[in-house]
Amino acid sequence: MHARHNRIPRRCDSRYLGGGGVSEALTKPVAPAIVLPDGAGRTVPARPAHGRSSAAPLAPRAAQDLLTLGGLVVVTALVRRDVTASVLLWQAVFGLVVLTSLAVRHAYAAGLRPELMDGLARIVGAVVTAGMATLTLQLLFDPSAVSVAVTLAQCALAAVWLGSSRAVPRFFAARAVEGLPTLIVGAGRVGRTVAERLAAQPGLGLRPVGFLDKEPLEAQGSGLPVLGASWDLEHVVRAYGVENVVITFSTAPTSVVLGLVRRCEALGVTVSHVPRLFESVNGTLTLEYFGGLPLLTRRPVDPKGWQFACKYAFDRIVGTAILLLLSPLLLAVSVAVWLSMGSPILFRQVRVGRDGRTFEMMKFRSMRHAATPAAETVAQAGVAPGGVEGDDRRTRVGAFLRSTSIDELPQLWNVVRGDMSLVGPRPERPRFVEVFEESVYRYGERHRVKSGITGWAQVHGLRGKTSLDDRVEWDNHYIENWSPWLDLKTMLLTAGALVRGRKVVE
């Protein structure tokens, strides 16, 4: 069950675990009571709200940025010879606008630790806003101080300094994150998914310790114990040092869950909950009130709207440019394939794309012809097909092409023709699609958009023989939260993986 509507405050913050199939609404605890009864009828002193949460609180983050910007001012004063009181004043104004803009962008809000790339995007946006605001104020109040070149240099330095101040500590502390002890209420499918996501992503800052559920359903396999029922909350919080509680779905009535939320707040424990209809939640969710009744409004992304039309036009332009740029490489690979395997140079296979339409997807050949007809590949339950199927007939050239994803480059021609997009769900063969649409939850919804050369699921490791449910979840998250920034981020992550020698596309 989920908490009743009167437990949704304005300080609610939405975060995602994984690709968006499970999202959390985070609420900060209110002032605690003095004592609470535990399950045995004893009294347990309520702990004061300690202020720790699943992310660094507002003050240290803001102080870190303030010191970083202050250091930039000091360095500028030491390097420049023409530093005046006016110059220092406008630098201070610039810094204050940056901090304000970051706060408006929720850079200091409590919640799960954001991805580093999202944090850098916020910094760039805040710095650009501060640069424009500073120039505007200078034009109005001090025209003699206006210098576009100086402002651009200031923006670039501030972005580098702030970005480095976030990236360097995260890089060195990535493996040292212990995470706050987290209790999961509800040992069903969603509760187990939350536990697995938190355990697999320690950088989120939450460490699951167990479940709380009177009638657990799917706790087995998660590696976590069921620590009790709702009436054991105080004892479990005290025994395990629980600092965060995630409420998922269970058979408990609403009144019991609502009481549990109040008891968590009284104990000073941060409460998160997975909302009903979480599959439809996206980043455009807004919260409004009708009196005391909250209303969550979702603005859906329209795959047939003008935004996606612009995306596909951009794909064709960029795809054409990349084809021309890589034409020497494509020619060299074609010659290598022909010399090692003969013709044909390209491997063509029918795949299912947007709205269920089929098209011929192209790759460079990587395998010799089979001596006998290959047996038809059978889909494994819950596992996506991919990789080497049947006998391994790859040549040395083919193995290299597949390990570097160079064999996928001919799909740029599919993009130019309009069959595919640069970023989107990977297409599948028709016979597999027929099976998966019947057996995999929301599989057919992937076909709302064009298939992609790379995708949001692929850059997060879901390629080849991996969980089909997870892949579908990440693909649908991409569609429902699409933006130009999400496409750019996917392509940057793809490029980063290729530079590190990791195969991304499969």
Tokens 């605690």 found at: 32
Contact 191, 185 (CB under 8 A): yes
Residue 470 CB coordination number (10 Å):
21
Q: Which of 203-217, 414-428, 472-486 has the least mean pLDDT?
A: 203-217
Q: How sure is the predictor about 392, in pLDDT bands with cuts at 50, 70 and 90? A: confident
Residue 30 is predicted with a pLDDT of 43
CA distance 20 to 229: 28
Cα–Cα distances (Å) from 288 to 9, 12, 297, 329, in that order, read 10, 12, 8, 54
Residue for token digits 């114990």? 225
Cβ distance 311 to 487 under 8 Å? yes
Q: Look up tokens 């954001």; give the residue.
A: 114
CA angle 432, 465, 390 (to 5 degrees): 75
Is-contact 72 128, C-beta < 8 A? no
Q: Give 158's pLDDT tier (boundaries 50, 70, 90).
A: confident
Most confident of 98-107, 336-345, 415-424, 463-472: 415-424
pLDDT digits (tens, 9 = 90+) for 173-216: 544 456 789 999 988 888 888 888 888 877 777 889 999 988 88
Report the distance separating Cα 317 and Cα 305, nearest Å: 19
Q: What is the dihedral of CA 127, 128, 129, 135, to 10 degrees?
A: 110
Q: Is the pTM of this model over 0.85?
A: no
Give the confidence band of 11 by pLDDT, cuts at 50, 70, 90. low
Calpha distance 110→222 (Å, rounded) = 27
Query: Using omega within 30 degrees of 0 as the cis cutoff, is the peptide bond preceding 344 cis?
Result: yes
What pLDDT is recorded for position 287?
82
Pick the closest to residue 456 from 51, 19, 28 (CA basis): 19
Residues 120-156 have pLDDT tens digits of: 788 888 899 989 999 999 889 888 888 888 888 888 8
> How many H helices and E strands in the chain?
14, 14
Residue 387: is its pLDDT beyond 50?
yes
In angstroms, rounded to a whole number, what is the distance separating the alpha carbons of residues 15 and 114?
9
Residue recorded with tokens 């576009």: 148
**Residues 6 or more apart whose Cβ sits within 8 Å of residue 1:** 249, 250, 251, 252, 253, 254, 256, 257
Q: Which two tokens stand for residue 343?
A: 């013709």
Residue of higher predicted confidence among 497 and 329: 329
Which of 248-262, 359-373, 405-419, 456-470 has the largest mean confidence?
A: 405-419
| Average pLDDT estimate for 213-221 | 74
Residue 231 has pLDDT above 50, yes or no: yes
pLDDT tens per residue, range 301-345: 888 899 999 999 999 999 999 999 999 999 999 999 999 988 899
- Helices 116-141 and 85-104: angle between axes, nearest 10 degrees: 140
Q: Would you say residue 370 has pLDDT above 80? A: no
Phi, psi dihedrals of residue 351, rounded to the nearest 5°: -130, 165
Task: Label residue 18 by pLDDT band (50, 70, 90).
Answer: low
Residues near 170 by beta carbon (within 8 Å), at least 6 away in sequence:
116, 203
Domain residue ranges of the chain, discontinuous segments joined by +:
5-35+179-297, 58-173, 306-499
Residue 215 in tokens: 């009638």
- From residue 127, alpha-carbon distances to 131, 156, 164, 307 in Å are 6, 8, 14, 26
Residue 451 has pLDDT above 90, yes or no: yes
Phi, psi of 226 (to 5 degrees): -90, 115
The length of the chain in residues reads 506
- The answer for residues whose C-beta is within 8 angstroms of residue 183's C-beta and 6 or more apart is 208, 209, 210, 211, 212, 227, 236, 237, 240, 242, 244, 245, 246
DSSP helix/strand/coil, 21: coil
pLDDT value at residue 103: 84
Return the closest-CA partner of residue 336 out of 406, 441, 280, 257: 406
Under 8 Å CB-to-CB from 225, ≥6 apart: which residues?
Answer: 210, 211, 219
Query: Which amino acid, one-letter code, is at 344?
Result: P
CATH number given to 5-35+179-297: 3.40.50.720
